[in-house]
Chains A and B, each alone.
Chain A
């Protein structure tokens, strides 16, 4: 991580080792990326970078990178020529289409290869070839929070932490999942703001919290409704906002009355007095309150309504689009390359849209859990071909056994990847992908309303970038007209065409080009993008589908119908500092620091189970079993009876035991964070 040297070529770009997209310096020597450091002038990260960011060098130069197209021949891989690979794949797509119809093809976008443009290109391609089946990990991550907020406010705001008097981090651990948020959160706190962290585990950010609230998994809605009740009772609410800009306040206010501090205590495990105290703290700081809803809220059976309940607090506090509050950023007017308007294909029955119409209405996402059943049972129709890029569902989707079985049974499974992942191993063709350092892409940081362009810095012969990949395939399938741009640069220029932003401007502004100065209280001039144009405490849209009108609280199954055979509650997916989703496990130095998986167990439970750190336990749910070493954590870290396993470890893959078929009814998100399990000590120690 040494300083720059004279000899090296210098580029500025944006990191894509996670979705934080920090500004970076990239140094190249003899055509090789040798160093990545934080870009001091970038408005987002001010030169700071996490160690994951530096791992970009490891990624691009990894010795185990896939650099040649591979074709499965029996149980072996055979290296083939790139053009031959495209030709063969195109032929097989045609065959799938001819035999089973166009909608038998699907695409699946991951996050390891690109991001915004990549998603758009995948969507464009699949529609171009006549199928509505676009999949991504969004159907089990991020999007249900977006929907939860969008149902209430029409959008999901970003947080103006630096100017906030009270930051509430709810079910998220930014230092590991969104490292650069940490500086803004703590800057706000340093200026006198309060930091409240609500989480099942004592996360890294909780270490600096003024208030750390350890909540039972999946009960967040009850707490949010309890806060609402208290805010209303104390009259620490924003009447102007409620009167002028909201819908259904009276109905909502009546409903939240049930959520007395005592009831909240019963549901969430948080002492009644604490609930009152926190509500008063938040109320006193209004409207400069930031509430950030994290991934911890999503993987529950009542996820969307819990998130709605949290989103509704914005209506009471009046912190929406407020300085130091939840800021609704304006977006740059980029052209859209998806074909949903030009060529809508909903009538073809996008997979999952029947069961989870809200997911499709809001995000045009097909449902990755349902697709496994579709592949295996050919219902409602056969899906026989899939082109997947930079995702690893064999590790990250729930119910791994089903995932593997389904993906294996495809007629055509094409994977584009940097590494031979567990998913790539199931493919018929594996094509080498290009990393974020090998292709240009536009990036937006909404909190500062800035846009930037990451350049193509190095290339590898057979690693086509996202655009070229789709273009080449499209041209072989007779839909080349949809991909008319010569290369990604031309595409970027086209995307920017309706703005005054140019590629040159972006290169001249490595710190981030402000596409529009920030403005607050935009709802005063322009209606919110909800069906009613107002902030919706109640949703007629949901009601129409038969979903709850109000953000109703339903306790998690483990509380409602406890199963004595599965007495522990398993939370999955807490982040580790080096690892993004299922990635980076193949970097040796990461393994030095965090060598492998473990199940976090409270000391009391460890005693009950007669296990100590390093012992192996078998964890069983109704879905399956897995073995994993124990880590007995400090008693403050997790509640007794609650355990945690981070996903993404092939040696102890927690998704072997998570549920793909117990879903939030609105978003379809799977139950992964309050899984009922039993834990048994295994006789053999891991080291023996």
Chain B
């Protein structure tokens, strides 16, 4: 399947991805509505974009007490059905990458759904830090990319 990979050596924290994702969700440019989040650490100039890796064994999916999390057969995306989500936040606690967020207005968890196979964050990533690429699993790709970042810490 295709995954979004995040290259910490290319991200410039322009936040186009966050605004594009937010726009997709709500039609507005509110960073807190975005499913991709970019952290910037001034002291060390580290740029860290993070979004769902759609894990093979998705703990969020298994743990969801509302059975609101499923895998999209077409895209492979792990998706939250906000009609079923009760807002218990267990999935947020379950995600080892911090990639599930809480929508305070609708009181449901939100995460990346790969925009039906055409992720907006990638289309609107002007630096090339985000790519949507075919891969056996997303960790492998991101692992290599994160390696350089770790060396910088």
Contacts and interface: CB of A to CB of B under 8 A. Distances in A.
Interface string B35-77: 0000010110101000000000000000000000000000000
A2 B20 CA distance: 10
B29 A590 contact: yes
Given A207-B13, A207-B40, A175 B126 contact: yes
B138 interface: no
A439 to B, nearest CB: 26
A186 interface: yes
Contact of A2 (B12, B24, B43): B24
A51 B127 contact: no
Given A3-B118, A634-B42, A175 B14 contact: yes
A592 interface: yes
Interface in B17-34: 19-20, 23-24, 27-31
B124 A190 contact: no
Contact of A207 (B12, B16, B126): B12
A47 B128 CA distance: 11
A577 B128 contact: no
A227 B43 CA distance: 28
A390 interface: no
Residue in B10, B43, B124, B126 with the greatest tally of chain A CB atoms within 10 Å? B126
Interface string B85-123: 000000000000000000000000000000111101001
Nearest to B24: A1
Contacts of A212: 45
A176 B40 CA distance: 17
Interface in A545-591: 577-578, 588-590
A428 B29 CA distance: 36
Given A51-B19, A182-B126, A1 B12 contact: no
Interface string A178-205: 0110110011011000000000001011
Nearest to A37: B123
A187 B11 contact: no
A592 B24 contact: no
B124 A51 contact: yes
A47 B123 contact: yes
A182 B126 CA distance: 6
B28 to A, nearest CB: 5
Interface in B125-142: 125-129
A208 B23 CA distance: 26
B123 A577 contact: no
Contacts of B16: 50-51, 179, 577
Interface in A201-218: 202, 204-208, 212
Contacts of A206: 45
Given A2-B24, A54-B23, A182 B12 contact: yes
Contacts of B10: 186, 189-190, 208
Given A51-B16, A204-B14, A3 B115 contact: yes
B123 to A, nearest CB: 5
A578 B43 CA distance: 26
A212 B44 CA distance: 12
A509 interface: no
A189 B9 CA distance: 9
Contacts of B115: 1-3
A593 interface: yes
Given A3-B115, A186-B127, A187-B128, A175 B12 contact: yes
A349 B27 CA distance: 52
B9 A1 contact: no
A204 B128 CA distance: 14
A186 B120 contact: no
Contact of A183 (B28, B30, B47, B126): B126
A636 interface: yes
A49 interface: yes
Nearest to A1: B120
Nearest to A176: B14
Contacts of A208: 9-12, 47, 127
Contacts of A48: 123-126, 128
Interface string A391-434: 00000000000000000000000000000000000000000000
Interface in A1-41: 1-3, 37-38
A362 B20 CA distance: 41
Contact of B9 (A3, A190, A592): A190
A637 interface: yes
Contacts of B31: 593
Contacts of A588: 28
B124 A577 contact: no
A51 B29 contact: yes
Nearest to B130: A48
Contacts of B42: 634, 636-637
A175 B126 CA distance: 7
B146 to A, nearest CB: 15
Nearest to B125: A48
A251 to B, nearest CB: 41
Nearest to A179: B126
A413 B113 CA distance: 52
Interface in A433-455: none
A578 B117 CA distance: 26
Nearest to A206: B45
A593 B30 contact: yes
Contact of B27 (A37, A47, A578, A589): A589
Nearest to B129: A186
A180 B126 CA distance: 6
Interface string A630-644: 000010110000000
B41 to A, nearest CB: 10
Given A48-B128, A208-B47, A636-B45, A1 B14 contact: no
Contacts of A183: 126-128
B118 A54 contact: no
Contacts of A634: 42-43
Nearest to B10: A186
30 contacts: A1-B20, A2-B116, A47-B123, A48-B128, A51-B19, A51-B20, A51-B124, A54-B124, A175-B14, A179-B16, A182-B127, A186-B12, A186-B129, A187-B128, A190-B9, A204-B14, A207-B12, A207-B40, A207-B47, A208-B9, A208-B11, A588-B28, A589-B28, A592-B28, A592-B30, A593-B19, A636-B42, A636-B43, A636-B45, A637-B42
Across chains A and B, which 7 residue pairs bring their CB atoms closest together, nearest first?
Answer: A634-B42, A593-B29, A179-B126, A175-B14, A204-B12, A183-B128, A589-B29
Given A179-B16, A204-B13, 12 more contacts: A1-B23, A38-B124, A51-B20, A51-B23, A54-B124, A176-B14, A182-B12, A186-B9, A187-B128, A208-B11, A592-B30, A593-B19
